[in-house]
């Protein structure tokens, strides 16, 4: 029987620790964070929406962009090529990213509302905290690289 350490470093979870894949996911995430923040600023400043509510729109814009980039670059060698499989991955990605978006939203709310941190800085902190949640859940459930 393999130990959990052997599973993590050699096989079952080895794909999760791929430096190349993590780098690609991080690169996509950085671009997603730029889009998230740009939409957040636009909605807060030009539509006069509270930052916590504006975060919902900005997160979804970033999620759609990151899904498309991850589908065609980060995880391009995984998954079945069909419209049904693509639709499943898109819906799964949106569902899975609720965890990361919820994490970012809570961090934004707490830092901005409770501690007076500028909403954009609080959002960046939340995105950083949500990165690990997103990477693990996307790898496991959307593109199923962990077996």
Q: Calculate the average pLDDT of the chain.
A: 86
State the residue for tokens 């957040």. Answer: 40
pLDDT for the residue numbered 147: 59
pLDDT for the residue numbered 76: 82
Q: How many CA atoms lie within 13 A of 111 on its CB side?
A: 19
pTM: 0.76
Question: Counting beta carbons within 10 angstroms of the beta carbon of residue 93, is it exposed (0 to 12), middle (13 to 18) or buried (19 or more)?
Answer: buried
Domain boundaries, the chain: 4-142
pLDDT for the residue numbered 41: 96
Would you give per-residue pLDDT tens digits along the chain (147 residues)? Answer: 455 444 444 445 667 777 888 899 999 999 999 999 999 999 999 999 999 899 889 989 999 999 999 999 988 887 677 899 899 999 999 998 888 888 888 999 999 999 999 999 998 999 888 888 888 888 888 888 865
For 15, 17, 18, 75, 82, the CA distances from 23, given in Å and listed in that order, are 13, 10, 8, 12, 27
pLDDT for the residue numbered 129: 87
Q: Per residue in 42-68, pLDDT tens? A: 999 999 999 989 988 998 999 999 999
């Amino acid at each position: 029987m393999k130990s959990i350490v052997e599973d993590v470093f050699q096989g079952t979870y080895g794909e999760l620790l791929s430096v190349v894949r993590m780098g690609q996911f991080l690169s996509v995430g950085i671009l997603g964070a730029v889009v998230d923040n740009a939409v957040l600023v636009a909605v807060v400043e030009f539509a006069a929406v509270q930052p916590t509510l504006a975060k919902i729109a900005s997160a979804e814009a970033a999620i759609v962009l990151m899904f498309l980039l991850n589908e065609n670059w980060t995880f391009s060698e995984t998954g079945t090529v069909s419209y049904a499989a693509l639709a499943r991955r898109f819906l799964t990605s949106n569902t899975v990213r609720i965890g990361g978006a919820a994490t970012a939203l809570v961090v934004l709310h707490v830092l901005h509302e409770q501690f007076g941190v500028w909403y954009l800085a609080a959002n960046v902190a939340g995105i950083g905290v949500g990165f690990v949640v997103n990477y693990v859940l996307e790898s496991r459930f959307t593109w199923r690289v962990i077996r």
